[in-house]
Structure 1
Amino acid sequence: MDHPIAPSGPLDAASYRERLHASTWFGALTAALQDALIGIAAVRRLGAGEILFQRGDPPDGLYCVVEGTIRIGSTSADGREALLAVLEPVNWFGEIGVFDRQPRTHDARADGNTTLLHMPQAALIALLDSTPALLHAFALLLTHKLRLTFTILEETALLPAPVRVARRLLLMADGYGDLRLGSRRVLHVPQEQLAQLLALSRQTVNQVLKDLQARGMLRLAYGEIELLDFAGLQALANAPARG
């Protein structure tokens, strides 16, 4: 059986330190805490479509996407997929299992060649046990994601499709609230994936995106969306819900 071609690049986790500073969470840590995390991290590479972990797998630590994309979701017995997040650099994930020691709640798969930093479970737990300040930092990471979850649930229940699309595009551009060096302009997300993320039909998402393109807010290309008018998208995202 052929194996996917893994991406190439630096083998040392420390070589990604500058890139990690794009993360608001990592950038807020002291230099000592940053050194401690990088010191236990290993570089892990996945080829396109390769599985990192699946629902029910034992927890194996914390990950950070530094190149490529990770899809977080689950697949039902009849093959239907629920896509929850598309993680691009620099996003951290996997922290729930570090704390509750329970099996993985969802699947994680590389969507294209992807490079991760991996902080293994045992080494990370030992570091947390010896470094109370890091426990506080991880509490902030967890509460940030909890806020996002509540916000997304509310939007799904209350907001019309165009507003939801605009909000999710801006959220992804901002690294789900964790990019501190400016928003990314190009999102590597096919329309089908965006529809899954928003629990909308592909036809609805396609119609909304084409309208936004006609209004000059974005440009559609194969497998990606380029954001052109952040102010216009923000105005749409802030439009009051009509009940």
Structure 2
Amino acid sequence: MLEIPALQRVFEAHFPGVVVPAEIAATIVRRRLAGGRSLFVQGQRTAAFYAVAAGEIETRFTGADGTVSVIENVGPPRLFGLAAFAAGQPAEYEAVARGTSEVLVFGREPYTRLMDEVPGFARALLAEFARRYDGTLRLLQAARHQGAAERFALALAQLARERGRPDDAGWIEVAATQTELARLAHLSRQTVNELLQAARAEGRLRPGRGRLWLRG
């Protein structure tokens, strides 16, 4: 049975102000995945989109030469798989559980009912797409026209918006690896490491294993 607070956290993060009726919430199931288990594979048409309820999902794609590249590590309460599902297109990446994880499954029935029956959901969904598109455009612009420090700052800001968790000490915890940050900023890992160390020395950032803490 779905834990309602988990669903509430997803909607507060992505669809603020939208209330899910109990009868629709009952159609959104919670699925448990063992570590290393694929939720869907690259090139597959998915029957749902998802939100992370617990644990972490790694999204990654495999190039023509067999090289595997990690796109991002998705933690609660982030959505993923939305674009491919909504467009009816094959997934551009694979989604794999990093350790024991749980996801909320938004299949065709809850998606259709949310769109058709819940006031404000369609507008909130469009706004979510717009935020993601705007973030991508900003990073593309930075990659072409701005220096390394500016690209690094924009990538950090995007991650903080999408995954940031403020704590009581005035820091914002962000689940991200150096590799992921380098990809977002279109920088080498060496450059990102240098910028991380500089930000740490200035007291603006604390790096950790798979995590960053930013000054709020």
TM-score, normalised to structure 1, is: 0.74
Matches within 5 A, 1:15-94: 15-23=5-13, 25-29=14-18, 31=19, 33=20, 35=22, 37-94=24-81
Structure 2 gaps of 5+ residues are none
Aligned to 1:226: 213
Matches within 5 A, 1:127-138: 127=113, 130-131=116-117, 133=119, 134-138=121-125
Amino-acid identity (%): 25
Whether the 8 Å contact between 1:218 and 1:226 is mirrored in structure 2 is yes
| Pair 140,198 (structure 1): closer, same or farther in 2 beyond 3 Å | same
| Pair 170,189 (structure 1): closer, same or farther in 2 beyond 3 Å | same
Aligned to 2:185: 198
- Secondary structure in 2 matching 1:89: coil
Whether the 8 Å contact between 1:72 and 1:106 is mirrored in structure 2 is yes
The code of the aligned residue for 1:149 comes to: T
- Secondary structure in 2 matching 1:27: coil
Find the partner of 2:151 among 133, 158, 164: 164
| Pair 209,35 (structure 1): closer, same or farther in 2 beyond 3 Å | same
Whether the 8 Å contact between 1:88 and 1:175 is mirrored in structure 2 is no
Whether the 8 Å contact between 1:62 and 1:95 is mirrored in structure 2 is yes
| Pair 76,218 (structure 1): closer, same or farther in 2 beyond 3 Å | same
Distance 1:129 1:138 in 2: 9
Distance 1:72 1:128 in 2: 26
| Structure 1 residue 176 displacement after superposition | 5.9
After TM superposition, the structure 1 stretch with the greater mean CA deviation from structure 2, 126-135 or 153-162, is 126-135
The code of the aligned residue for 2:79 comes to: W
More strand by share: 2
Matches within 5 A, 1:146-161: 146-161=133-148
Whether the 8 Å contact between 1:71 and 1:111 is mirrored in structure 2 is yes
Distance 1:190 1:20 in 2: 23
| Structure 1 residue 63 displacement after superposition | 0.8
| Pair 180,199 (structure 1): closer, same or farther in 2 beyond 3 Å | same
| Structure 1 residue 153 displacement after superposition | 1.4
| Pair 87,130 (structure 1): closer, same or farther in 2 beyond 3 Å | same
Distance 2:67 2:186 in 1: 13
Distance 2:167 2:81 in 1: 23
Aligned to 1:144: 131
| Structure 1 residue 74 displacement after superposition | 1.2
Distance 1:76 1:55 in 2: 10
Distance 1:197 1:149 in 2: 9
| Pair 110,199 (structure 1): closer, same or farther in 2 beyond 3 Å | farther
| Structure 1 residue 155 displacement after superposition | 1.9
Distance 1:152 1:36 in 2: 40
The code of the aligned residue for 1:135 comes to: A
| Structure 1 residue 131 displacement after superposition | 2.5
Q: Are 2:110 and 1:124 equivalent residues in the alignment?
A: yes
Distance 1:76 1:84 in 2: 12
